[in-house]
Structure 1
Amino acid sequence: MADVAAMAGVSSQTVSRVANSRSNVDEATRERVLSAMRMLGYRPNTAARALATGRFRMLGVISFGLNAYGNARTLEAIVAAAQDADYSVNVVSVRAQTESAVRAAFERLTLQAVDGIILNEAQILDTPTLRLPSGLPVVVVDGEEGRRQPGVDTNQAEGARLATRHLLDLGHRSVWHLAGPQDSFAARRRAEAWHGTLKAAGAATPPVLYGDWSADSGYAAGRELAAKPEVTAVFAANDQMALGVVRALSEAGRKVPDEVSIVGFDDLAEASCFLPPLTTVHQDFEEVGRQCVSRLLDQIHTGEAGTGGVSSVAPRLVIRASTAGPPHAS
């Protein structure tokens, strides 16, 4: 630090302020100090900095099911937002949503010195007996109201309403739904909103089919749907399952969208390359990640525990070529 100060022509205190990203340094001085750091290969002593500031500039993430597209995209967005704020991220992947697994993940992150923790889609929080360890700020990625922890999520219900309403407005008398797993918060919210939208429109509510988010489960459900001539519109709870439905319908000789329209959810990067290009609900994972990190840093910087309540991120419907009016519509 003394060498950097001498090269930059400033005090050691100024070097410390720059190293700790303090705002009370003018930009010309900051750049001079940073240039000296680069030339000398200076790296702050993170242990010493943590002792001085009480912060490790490390966020922990507990994620459930990293193979799920939404969870992976949300994690990617959290990491990017944390990096923008000059924080690193330590991720613990938990395979089973059990109390012991969640407690073990918290303990592991606490031992690895994090300033706060984000839980990525944690239905386990609804377990009445679960008590999270105190002392660390927490933010949850999902939209369950009534929890003590603050949350951030896409407005799942609004996304499902947009999808269902779009198909009804095209003239379909009803909309079938391929839901995600019954233990998924997002899947439940989408299914409830689909059902409520049909009821509000006075439309028939067909029985729900369930998948596991995979294209294979969509294909299995699609074969069942293809055998029902009354099916003219399908809302699948994610794009992968929608892809499986499209394949099954095609193999059964039922054209999309001439005979059956289909809407997905997520807006995969590949959704526009499906055949036909998929109408779907776009989730802004980047904004979810930014808000998660922002709400967590607010707690870290103020030293105050976050209150409950969900920050809702609006989805939008992306209309492509997989939806049209019902066959023989006038």
Structure 2
Amino acid sequence: MTRSASAADVARLAGVSGQTVSRVANGSARVDPSTRARVEAAMAALGYRPNRAARALRTGRTRTIGVLVRTLASVGSARALEAVVAAGAEHDHAVLVVTLADDTLDAAARAFAALDDHGVDGAIALNEASPSVRAAEAPGFPLVAIDAAPGPGLAVIASDHAGGAAAAVAHLRSAGHATVHHLAGPAGSYAADERERGWRRGLADSPAPEPARGDWSAQSGFDRGRELAADRSVTAVFAANDQMALGLLRALREDGRDDVAVVGFDDVIDAAHFLPPLTTVAQDFGALGAGAVTLLLDLVEGRQPPERTLVPTRLVVRQSG
């Protein structure tokens, strides 16, 4: 059987000490960039991978990030998780996902305990998991939230939902629509509330119609869309996500309402292939995931990151509105 490469093998090939190899393997900043590059090249050439268990005993860290989710049925949660996993891999951290059974404090406490049992260095709460996580007693490890209201004791990174929604409304009004109706997300969702706030901001100079409220699903978009289609005063709709916009477009089409402009939010992978192609607000999920991991690792290293980081959104104009 072929012997696996050791740290000593890497040190010999790179012409450095074993301690330097250890520092590079543990991500220490106390290594000259050129030396680090030489050690990493030796690691790659020898196929060397540090032993996580041994490293955890030396450093007290497992290089494992916990992720708390309420649901992965929404596009936002699924894509945020994908981005966190990718960013974690770039930093040589594994990701352990725990699902909250419900919205109670007890469920959050059980999730914290499960992550603590696995020795995570810290955790990231995704979107819909944030309210119960924030309300629960603080865990014994650093915690970052993606898309949550700012507050003490929790580092937050969020998309500029309100800014993106306001841009969507401004785009529709610039096309000549006197007002813009809103197909809103579920009440109490941070993202839904912020997008509704941005919609209202975009209509600050005129009365805002009563929002139609869905649950993020295409079915709810279709159900509320039938009501909007029946109202002949509706000429433009801002939908709080692309899935509801998809259901809305079907309802409008079935009612013969080709005169209604629609803008969604998220820019899902298939948005350009809706009928018509969907104008929408794009979130930068890669930046959200990378930013959340960076904030968490700062906390793990004892650095104090900003309490709130806002990631810009951008309007993508297609044919629907």
Specify if TM > 0.5.
yes
* Corresponding residue for residue 199 of structure 2: 194
Query: Are 1:230 and 2:228 matched, yes or no?
Result: no
Give the CA deviation at 1:143: 3.9
Q: Cα distance 1:6–1:78, how it changes in 2: closer, same or farther (>3 A)?
A: closer
Secondary structure, counterpart of 2:167 in structure 1:
helix
Q: Cα distance 1:21–1:281, how it changes in 2: closer, same or farther (>3 A)?
A: same
Identity among equivalent positions (%) equals 47
* Corresponding residue for residue 287 of structure 1: 287
* Corresponding residue for residue 59 of structure 2: 53
Q: Cα distance 1:137–1:225, how it changes in 2: closer, same or farther (>3 A)?
A: same
1:71-103, CA deviations, whole angstroms, 9 ceiling, x for partnerless residues?
Answer: 110111111111111111111122312101111
* Corresponding residue for residue 249 of structure 1: 252
Number of equivalences: 310
Match 1:82 to one of 85, 88, 91: 88
1:144-173, CA deviations, whole angstroms, 9 ceiling, x for partnerless residues?
Answer: 123420100101110110111111111111
Q: Cα distance 1:289–1:31, how it changes in 2: closer, same or farther (>3 A)?
A: closer
Secondary structure, counterpart of 1:168 in structure 2:
helix
Give the CA deviation at 1:18: 4.0
1:161-190, CA deviations, whole angstroms, 9 ceiling, x for partnerless residues?
Answer: 011111111111111111011121110111
Q: Is the 2:10–2:46 contact (alpha carbons within 8 Å) kept by the matching residues of 1?
A: no
Q: Is the 2:167–2:202 contact (alpha carbons within 8 Å) kept by the matching residues of 1?
A: no
Q: Cα distance 1:28–1:87, how it changes in 2: closer, same or farther (>3 A)?
A: closer
Q: Is the 1:215–1:241 contact (alpha carbons within 8 Å) kept by the matching residues of 2?
A: yes
* Corresponding residue for residue 210 of structure 1: 213
CA distance in 2, matches of 1:234, 1:10: 63
Q: Is the 1:143–1:310 contact (alpha carbons within 8 Å) kept by the matching residues of 2?
A: no
Q: Is the 1:142–1:185 contact (alpha carbons within 8 Å) kept by the matching residues of 2?
A: yes
Give the CA deviation at 1:125: 4.4
Q: Cα distance 1:197–1:15, how it changes in 2: closer, same or farther (>3 A)?
A: closer
Q: Is the 1:143–1:312 contact (alpha carbons within 8 Å) kept by the matching residues of 2?
A: no
TM-score scaled to structure 1, two decimals? 0.88
Give the CA deviation at 1:14: 4.0
- Which shows bigger deviation, 238-247 or 27-36? 27-36
CA distance in 1, matches of 2:21, 2:178: 69
Q: CA RMSD in A?
A: 2.0
Q: Which amino acid aligns with 1:168?
A: R
CA distance in 2, matches of 1:284, 1:59: 21
Q: Cα distance 1:168–1:86, how it changes in 2: closer, same or farther (>3 A)?
A: same
Secondary structure, counterpart of 2:265 in structure 1:
strand
CA distance in 2, matches of 1:270, 1:19: 40
